Amino acid sequence: MQAVHVISLALLCAVATSAQVLKFGRCPKPAVQANFDSSRYIGKWYEIMKLPTSFQKGQCGTATYSAKSPGVIGVFNSELLNDGTINSIAGSAKVKDPEEPAKLQVSFNGTPPGPYWVLSSDYEGHSLVYGCQDFGLFRMELSWILSRQPTIPDETLEELHSILTAIGVDVSKMVATNQDRNYCSPMEE
């Protein structure tokens, strides 16, 4: 048991210094989007808000999804870094269990797959994504609020925040993503 505490403390320190959201306790098991239809999810989404991550440092974030094969979605994420360069990465998201198609596992460049659970989406306006991984006594949470447009109505944002709050996510830790057209114009070139 002592080793678990030492490992958990080491992970806590490592993750805390890299701006991840780490919390005490096990991951929740939230309800996901009923009857998730990946064919309607395909296309471009703008990142509106996210829990901080060590692997996303820029603004103007977008995620573009494409159909690859049954149960597999192509993923292309891009963002504008502070120095004006565009950072992008390609990967794939796979349905882990056909009975729960909204629970995807996403991986990039051979990284171990991580949870990408669509908690809510109307396919045309918003998507709420959540992921959580257990590390001993702690859990690391990820979450994104996405929109088909660079903005999202305040009422929708409040509704999505309430879903996250209900599963124990501290929405005050979420950061807004700059999607201002003038600032993000290099992404469109």
Alpha helix stretches (DSSP H) within 37-152: 38-41
pTM of the model: 0.87
* Domain extents in the chain: 2-184
pLDDT tens track for 38-96: 999 999 999 999 999 888 889 999 999 999 998 899 999 999 998 999 999 999 999 98
Distance CA 115, CA 131 (A): 5
User: What is the rounded average pLDDT of the residues 159-179?
Assistant: 96
41 touches 129 (CB < 8 A): no
Domain 2-184 falls in which CATH fold?
A: Lipocalin (2.40.128)
Q: Which two tokens stand for residue 108?
A: 């990039």
Mean pLDDT computed over every residue of the chain:
88
pLDDT for 67: 95
**Does the structure show a pLDDT above 80 at 156?**
yes
